[in-house]
């Protein structure tokens, strides 16, 4: 079970993660991640499009269990938000877990690429792509 210390409850945290973080979509869910300097927090978005309240709660419980397992390797440094898609209602636990793991791997790779990329102003070849003025003869 996902402990209370790892649950995201603040709307501003959800907004920051979904708007400014890296994203990866799969058949049953969309996964968002944003680097964060404290304990990893995980939030879930399960809308009425997924199904009635019983189905939404069932999907959310499955996702919480999957997230708790993944926190063993990512306990520190991220905001994670998982948005369940309507296909999650009929998906098996194994399918949800596969999509979650795949999306998590993809998002972390995107974040890694973004942090290792140098800003354009600091690159040694910055400015060489602009056309040089022609000399008059």
Q: How confident is the model at residue 120 (pLDDT cuts 50, 70, 90)?
A: low
Q: Tell me how far the alpha carbon of residue 136 is from its chain's centroid.
A: 54
Judged against a pLDDT cut of 70, whether residue 134 lies above it is answered with no
Judged against a pLDDT cut of 70, whether residue 103 lies above it is answered with yes
* 116-132 mean pLDDT: 54
> What are the chain's domains?
4-113 (3.30.230.10)
Q: How confident is the model at residue 131 (pLDDT cuts 50, 70, 90)?
A: low
CA distances from 135 to 7, 132 (A): 63, 9
For 12-47, how does the pLDDT look when each residue is reduced to its tens digit (9 = 90+)? 999 999 999 899 999 999 999 999 888 899 999 999
Q: So what's the pLDDT on residue 44?
A: 95
Q: So what's the pLDDT on residue 35?
A: 92
């Amino acid at each position: 079970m996902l402990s209370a210390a790892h649950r995201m409850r603040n709307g501003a945290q959800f907004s920051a993660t979904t708007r400014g973080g890296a994203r990866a979509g799969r058949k049953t869910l969309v996964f968002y991640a944003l680097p964060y300097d404290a304990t990893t927090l995980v939030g879930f978005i399960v809308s009425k499009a997924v199904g009635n309240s019983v189905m939404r709660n069932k999907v959310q419980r499955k996702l919480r269990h999957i997230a708790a397992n993944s926190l063993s390797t990512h306990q520190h440094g991220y905001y994670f938000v998982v948005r369940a898609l309507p296909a999650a209602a009929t998906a098996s636990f194994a399918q949800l877990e596969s999509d979650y793991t795949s999306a998590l791997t993809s998002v972390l790779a995107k974040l890694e690429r973004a942090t290792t990329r140098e800003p354009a102003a600091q690159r040694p070849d910055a400015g060489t792509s602009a056309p040089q003025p022609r000399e008059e003869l």
